[in-house]
Chains A and B, each alone.
Chain A
């Protein structure tokens, strides 16, 4: 079945550090891939997405590239800010419409 695996957190970084959160997936067919972010006390917000192999999703300085050969969709940001502190979820959806989430990775950015 479809599944998503994220690196375990929490990830603690200093402001302006480089961020990578690893995400790998298992899926049949050609899923779309997503990164959602959840700020404290809020619902999930779409951060970026990619719908086919080699697509790069980007938003707010975050990027992720759909790598079919390595079944990965790693999230990166060149310089994190304190305001980026949140929980990040990698997810995939197949043509059934169900979103399959990873377990989430907590990012804490210290000034």
Chain B
């Protein structure tokens, strides 16, 4: 199994630019999660999907952030426009279902907004 795949692994962009992060969950997993990790705030859940439907987006910091899951094998997290305070590592995770199933994390995308 390839595990959760994220791209790009590193992204450096300038303030105001649009950033798109991509995630491919483990095949057969029905739930997908986007997290953000910073030194100041630790790990934060941004949004999660079950069967491609957004279930809880209460962690999305503001309207500049949006996430989509057009099919079971692909999700995007978009930031438009980006700001320096968005600099963080963004993780995608997937699990077989919501509830108490184990979540498997991707390697993360390190975003730097200058």
The residues of A with any CB-CB pair to B shorter than 8 Å are 31-32, 34, 36, 42-46, 49, 51, 89, 93-99, 101, 103-104
Contacts and interface: CB of A to CB of B under 8 A. Distances in A.
B42 A101 contact: yes
B43 interface: yes
Contacts of B31: 97
A97 B43 contact: no
13 contacts: A32-B100, A43-B105, A44-B43, A46-B103, A46-B104, A89-B43, A94-B100, A95-B100, A96-B99, A97-B55, A97-B99, A97-B101, A101-B42
Given A42-B108, A98-B45, A104-B43, 8 more contacts: A44-B93, A44-B105, A46-B103, A46-B104, A49-B102, A98-B56, A99-B93, A103-B42
Contacts of B97: 97
A83 to B, nearest CB: 19
Contacts of A93: 99-100, 103
A104 B33 CA distance: 19
B106 A43 contact: yes
B56 to A, nearest CB: 7
Contacts of B103: 46, 93, 99
Interface of B: 4, 31, 33, 42-43, 45, 48, 50, 55-56, 91, 93, 95, 97-108
B49 to A, nearest CB: 10
